[in-house]
Structure 1
Amino acid sequence: MAKIAFIGLGVMGYPMAGHVARAGHHVCVYNRTSAKAERWAQEYAGTTAETPAAAAHDADFVFTCVGNDADLLSVTTGDSGALAGMKSGSLLIDHTTASADAARTLDALAKAKGVGFLDAPVSGGQAGAEGGVLSIMVGGADADYSRASPVLEAYARSQRLLGPVGSGQLAKMVNQIAIAGLVQGLAEAVHFVQQAGLDGEAVFDVIQHGAAGSWQMINRHQSMLKGEYDFGFAVDWMRKDLQIALNEARNNGARLPVTALVDQFYADIQAADGGRLDTSSLLKRLEKGG
């Protein structure tokens, strides 16, 4: 069993680190809010550290799962960052949804320390993290991925190496681009159902098994019909992810008109104090004449 550090115990990191501990690995955690780290350690019989560097000391694998590029660099660089505590030959695996540039920057810093690096953003949301059934998109070297893959199995339904460092983050952008259009389409479908006076439960029970079916339809149509949005992947997080994708598109020449439009729809939700609502809250905007 490996000695592992897990840095970042948000709605995703907390259960992911738990799955690693339950798989039998020795896990030390760091979280900016120390009380959450202490609670995790009690629940999973792990240990805590006061800094990322201390958590990473002598670890074979160091996992990070934080909010954005700035958070990621904060917990990995500097005297108290994870890289400062990592030993030569260890491996840093980042699950943050961040930019491909941040991944490449970390890779260069890791190499200078004799440390391997994988960018490995995930998809599946809080439910996927809690159930241990996430999809993991990985960028990095074959040898590093081969070492990490057995540990990733603790919370992966699927995982795949997609290319060099940065490829995982680029693939996550693809994921979010696809979701943005799907959720807007579903919101319009639910709105149409309501305006037409149809039995929404009956309609979606039928069509979710056909060509229109998607994860979003299966998992979100019921809550949307009820107007419930106080759960799930927050609008604030989705806008952060879409901005990363749109910035990358400006660099590589990709045209993302639907993504840009849906991003502005989410901006409307934020402006109405809905930043913490689930992404399916796009329906609220349509109901208000948006």
Structure 2
Amino acid sequence: MTTILAAPRTYEPTAPLRVAFLGLGVMGQPMAGHLARAGHQVTVYNRTAARADEWVASYGGRSAPTPREATAGADIVFACVGNDADLRSVTLGVDGAFGGMAAGAVFVDHTTASADIARELDAAARARGLHFIDAPVSGGNLGAINGALTVMCGGDAAAFDRIRPVAMSYSKAVTLLGPAGAGQLAKMVNQIAIAGLVQGLAEAIAFGEKAGLDMKAVLGVIGKGAAQSWQMDNRGPTMVDARFDFGFAVDWMRKDLGLCLDEARRNGARLPVTALVDQFYADLQAQGGNRWDTSSLVKRLRG
């Protein structure tokens, strides 16, 4: 399980704090590692306790058997779990984090979840004298390992100012975009933009292959012009090679696009391309591609 972090980076100077991190998946594990490397006293919790024990063996700190125990005495609590239900469980459950946090502490949620759960937990936190920041991230597992995530935040400005320098230990940008829920809405914008871009790149590569072109050479040329994007630079060559065993999984993208489409139904936004690409990802799931990287959209076009 243990992920080796990138070469030591320079961390923004901050006073050492007592922090907790809930959820040690492919994102949370390296994020918590950067917090420890930056000098903070880190207590971790993971539903599978063995993973938390492995993290402690690699980075120090300590583990706790419940979110409530992990967060006792913490100045800031970070979480990165699976979905709305997981988030409610680690915050509001019998052994939830909110029951263990001291008044004035800040809960920072890095889960990609709904804007509704962010607003719900913000209200629940306020009722307990706590602060809540919704803070979904972009940059994937490599961004977490390299300490180069982009963090989109919603919440109170004073609480944000407290957590920003700490969150910069695993980030290249941490930005407040509005009140509770604004971070989740911004992440939806991010995923909508990516979905259409990856489908367009997949179609371009499949077209070029049918035309008999050397697509790596073509990508090298058009990547120096207006078509350039992170996806083209980082996923274009691997799409040509039919390599889909890394990065952000199809299952996770479908979860995220479901959040986007649900929110669009509420706010009246029209997302025709997003809805179509969501169905293309459903096709990949039907082929057994649940854990393929999202760039596997090109497989649909190579029949």
Once residues 52 and 30 of structure 1 are traced to their aligned partners in structure 2, the CA distance between those partners, rounded to angstroms, is: 6
Aligned residue for 2:213? 198
| Pair 1:235-2:254 in alignment | no
Once residues 145 and 44 of structure 1 are traced to their aligned partners in structure 2, the CA distance between those partners, rounded to angstroms, is: 26
Cα displacement (A) at 1:79: 1.9
Aligned residue for 2:65? 50
The Cα RMSD (Å) is: 0.6
Aligned residue for 2:6? none
Once residues 277 and 24 of structure 2 are traced to their aligned partners in structure 1, the CA distance between those partners, rounded to angstroms, is: 29
Percent identity of paired positions between Structure 1 and Structure 2:
63
Aligned residue for 1:274? 289
Give the aligned residue type for 1:85. G
Cα displacement (A) at 1:220: 0.3
Give the aligned residue type for 2:145. E
Cα displacement (A) at 1:194: 0.9
Aligned residue for 1:141? 156
Aligned residue for 1:214? 229
Give the aligned residue type for 1:50. P
Cα displacement (A) at 1:78: 2.0
Deviates more, 1:117-126 or 1:152-161: 152-161
Aligned residue for 2:83? 68
CA deviation map 1:37-83 (0-9, x unaligned):
11111111110000000000010000010011011111111220111
Aligned residue for 2:177? 162
CA deviation map 1:224-277 (0-9, x unaligned):
111110111000000000000000000000000000000000000001110110
- Kindly report which structure 2 residues correspond to 1:29-108, keeping only aligned pairs within 5 A, or say none: 29-108=44-123
Q: Please state whether the residue corresponding to 2:21 is helix, strand or coil.
A: strand
Aligned residue for 1:7? 22
Aligned residue for 1:25? 40
Give the aligned residue type for 1:160. T
Cα displacement (A) at 1:192: 1.0
Cα displacement (A) at 1:157: 0.8
Q: Please state whether the residue corresponding to 1:154 is helix, strand or coil.
A: helix
Give the aligned residue type for 1:125. G
Once residues 207 and 72 of structure 1 are traced to their aligned partners in structure 2, the CA distance between those partners, rounded to angstroms, is: 42
Give the aligned residue type for 1:88. A
Once residues 46 and 210 of structure 1 are traced to their aligned partners in structure 2, the CA distance between those partners, rounded to angstroms, is: 47
- Kindly report which structure 2 residues correspond to 1:105-144, keeping only aligned pairs within 5 A, or say none: 105-144=120-159
TM superposition score normalised by structure 2: 0.94
Unmatched 5+ stretches in structure 1: none
CA deviation map 1:92-140 (0-9, x unaligned):
0000000000001111111111000100000000010000000000000
Q: Please state whether the residue corresponding to 1:153 is helix, strand or coil.
A: helix
Once residues 173 and 241 of structure 1 are traced to their aligned partners in structure 2, the CA distance between those partners, rounded to angstroms, is: 7
Once residues 242 and 186 of structure 1 are traced to their aligned partners in structure 2, the CA distance between those partners, rounded to angstroms, is: 18
What count of residue pairs does the alignment treat as equivalent? Answer: 288
Once residues 35 and 183 of structure 1 are traced to their aligned partners in structure 2, the CA distance between those partners, rounded to angstroms, is: 36
Unmatched 5+ stretches in structure 2: 1-15
Aligned residue for 2:202? 187
CA deviation map 1:171-196 (0-9, x unaligned):
00000000000000010011012111
Give the aligned residue type for 2:296. S
Deviates more, 1:190-199 or 1:165-174: 190-199
Q: Please state whether the residue corresponding to 2:107 is helix, strand or coil.
A: strand
Cα displacement (A) at 1:206: 1.2
